[in-house]
Chains A and B, each alone.
Chain A
Amino acid sequence: METLTQYWEFVTQKKPDGTLLYDVLGAFWVNIQLTLWAGAVAMVLGTIILAMRISPIVSLRAVATFFTNIFRDIPLTVVMLIMWLVIWTQLGVSFGGKMSTDFYILAIIGLGLYHASFIAEALRSGVNTVPLGQAEAARAIGLTFMQSARMIVLPQAFRGAIAPIGNTIIALIKNTTVASVMGVATETSAVMSGMIETGANFVLLIFLTFAIGYVLIVIPVGMFFTWASRILAVKR
């Protein structure tokens, strides 16, 4: 009990200017923001890749297949290190402004690129759940290509893709911690390392604090996607 009170004092230490020394909740908020931004990037890119992947144009399909195969097999840490050491340091790519803004944007780009291929695969598995007969029936009643895609095939495909997209989003939430490799110093894993360094007596408690934070985020999100995929599943 005494340890817990001491730990509470340690966590709620304040800087001279009155702000928290270790902003745990703020760190989680950074990760959530990273998830939302990178998720948006991944969704847009992933949809473009899917469109290329299933298009009848061979060259586009080859590019999309190449992209997914590369990003499926490369570790995220490598992507992030490339973003930092190569794109930022060696090539000097910058978005103006502060260094931390650069790191933040590059982390989003890295996370987005990496997860785009998984989103594309998830969407493709959704398209794969639509039976051929649906499209044939659409054509038989005289719908044009755009009409059958918009009204028949894609709605079913998106509904079929919810579960795998949920898995990708959950992976993304956890993978945002790798942003610390990219130099984002305000997110959870960086804050946790900082806390562990100074609070050597509370290593386990510090870890549990962050771990339970993730459990509290990841499990409801997972339950939501499981629920959504069940509700929206196309009965066949």
Chain B
Amino acid sequence: MTPEVPYTTVAEQAVLIPPSPEDTQRAPKKPRRARRAEHSVLFDSPGPKTKRVIAIGNVVGVLLVAWAIYAIGAKLAEPSLIAKKGQLDWELWKINFESDTWTEFYLPGLWNTIKAAVVAIFGAVVFGLLFGVGRLAQLKPVRWFSDVIVEFFRAVPVLLMMIFLWTFLGSMQFPEPSFWAVVIALTVYNGSVVAELVRAGVQNLPNGQHEAADAIGLTRIQALVNVLVPQALLAMLPAIIAQLVVALKDSALGVAISYFDLLRAAQVRGTPYNALQTLTVAAVVFIVINYLLGRSGEWLAGRMKGRTSRLDDKFAQEIPINVSALSASAMLEPVDQDGYNEQNLRAEPGWLDDDMFESKKP
């Protein structure tokens, strides 16, 4: 590849010879499928026979999916008793393309959804920090109190809290009772999950952090506030974004207490004959927002690799928290005190098609 240049040292060659296009390009990646095959714990790399079986399976799979889509489509296109028209009829879908539907229903509804979720997540972080630190406090009464609060709000269904708060705030002549019921219910629930993350994050920091804080004479509270919690918080940031997704999803529960969120808007607009059409829009909007948020959480988790000591995977699994927060903490890799990734050290490849936990790949 490199032309012969006589009587030059290697260093000189480097100056003399312009880099070839091959050098500047990245090393060719293995095809995705090949990487998958060698990383699967259950499956060997396929031989010619297995490859044939896989190809046949693929064709059958595609046919099955196509058939399912066709069957559902055909079923929807049939006129039903109530609507007298097929569900795919333009007359029914037209509603989603009227400007009123957006300016009067979807957009205000979406704004209310986002408003409730964002206010709640800020509240949740404050609540979580307060009670997370409370659970680590040295004073026993403080610890017990925080324990009881956190365990209680984590165990009670959010919907029950919303219904209670709605009635309660309403009877107290509180302004906008349904908005505040949604926000407070989401705050205390997500806050207690965050409190658990704070506690787990702090307990899971390397001992050296704690010892160093002791050594320079910080009190316990000073150590928590100045050394331990900030690190735990940084490590938790992706999990907090995951919690925002949870809050967004749970804000839809506001329907039960007639909070005018996106779902409620779609429900009202779709009554009585267009529910399928309007709820589809609401569902798609929710899915897109949550998917993008989830992705940005993963991206953040990838960016923050090695910035701090992290929540241990194993430890995070033991906290009985909401599943979405769990999947977020599963994205965090254990990194030991010197910044080495434990998984790299053990040389365990992140086999399997890990689309969701992209950052987990070495």
Contacts and interface: CB of A to CB of B under 8 A. Distances in A.
A69 interface: yes
Contacts, number: 223
Which label, helix, strand, loop or mixed, suits the secondary structure of the B interface?
helix
B273 A121 contact: no
B320 A167 contact: yes
Contacts of A177: 157, 159-160
Contacts of B14: none
Nearest to A168: B323
Interface string B136-176: 00000000000000011011111111011001100100000
B345 interface: no
Contacts of B82: 89-90, 92
A52 B282 CA distance: 28
Nearest to A156: B41
Given A56-B43, A76-B249, A132-B348, A222 B320 contact: yes
Interface in A152-183: 153, 163-164, 166-168, 170-171, 174-175, 177-178, 180-181
Given A135-B42, A215-B151, A189 B57 contact: no
A59 interface: yes
Contacts of A53: 353
Contact of A167 (B33, B50, B158, B322): B322
Chain B: number of interface residues, binned into ranges: 35 or more
A166 B65 CA distance: 32
Interface in B212-260: 245, 248-253, 255-256
B291 to A, nearest CB: 5
A175 B324 contact: no
A106 B302 CA distance: 40
Given A127-B352, A196-B163, A81 B263 contact: yes
B316 to A, nearest CB: 10
Nearest to A135: B41
Interface string A26-39: 00000000000000
Contact of B323 (A85, A118, A180, A226): A118
Looking at B83, B251, B253, B286, the one whose CB has the most chain A CB atoms below 10 A away is B253
Nearest to B92: A90
Interface residues of A, number: 80
Contacts of A142: none
Interface string B170-200: 0100000000000000000000000000000
B80 interface: yes
B287 interface: yes
Contacts of A153: 41-42
A47 interface: no
Contact of B152 (A92, A125, A164, A211): A211
B210 to A, nearest CB: 25
B41 A203 contact: no
B267 A85 contact: yes
Main secondary structure of the interface of A (DSSP, over half): helix
Given A54-B352, A56-B54, A121-B356, A226 B320 contact: yes
A56 B156 CA distance: 41
Contacts of B317: 125, 163-164, 229
Interface string B274-299: 01100100110011001100100000
A204 interface: yes
B349 interface: yes
A90 B87 CA distance: 9
B12 interface: no
Interface in A2-25: none
A215 B156 CA distance: 6
Contacts of A69: 287, 291, 356
Contacts of A229: 317-318
B155 A78 contact: no
Contact of B160 (A130, A132, A139, A207): A207
Interface string A85-118: 1100111100000000000000000000000001
Contact of A54 (B40, B87, B324): B40
Nearest to A215: B155
A148 to B, nearest CB: 8
Contacts of B46: 56
A164 B245 CA distance: 18
16 contacts: A54-B353, A59-B62, A69-B356, A73-B286, A75-B286, A81-B267, A86-B279, A89-B82, A92-B81, A127-B42, A135-B42, A148-B42, A168-B323, A171-B322, A181-B255, A192-B164
Interface of A: 53-61, 63, 65, 68-70, 72-78, 81-82, 85-86, 89-92, 118, 121-122, 124-125, 127-128, 130-132, 134-135, 139, 145, 148-149, 153, 163-164, 166-168, 170-171, 174-175, 177-178, 180-181, 188-189, 192-193, 196, 200, 203-204, 206-207, 210-211, 214-215, 218-219, 222, 225-226, 229-230
Interface of B: 33, 36-37, 39-44, 46, 50, 54, 57-58, 61-62, 65, 76, 80-83, 87, 151-152, 154-161, 163-164, 167-168, 171, 245, 248-253, 255-256, 263, 267, 270-273, 275-276, 279, 282-283, 286-287, 290-291, 294, 317-318, 320-324, 326-327, 330, 348-356
Given A54-B40, A207-B160, 4 more contacts: A54-B353, A60-B61, A92-B80, A215-B152
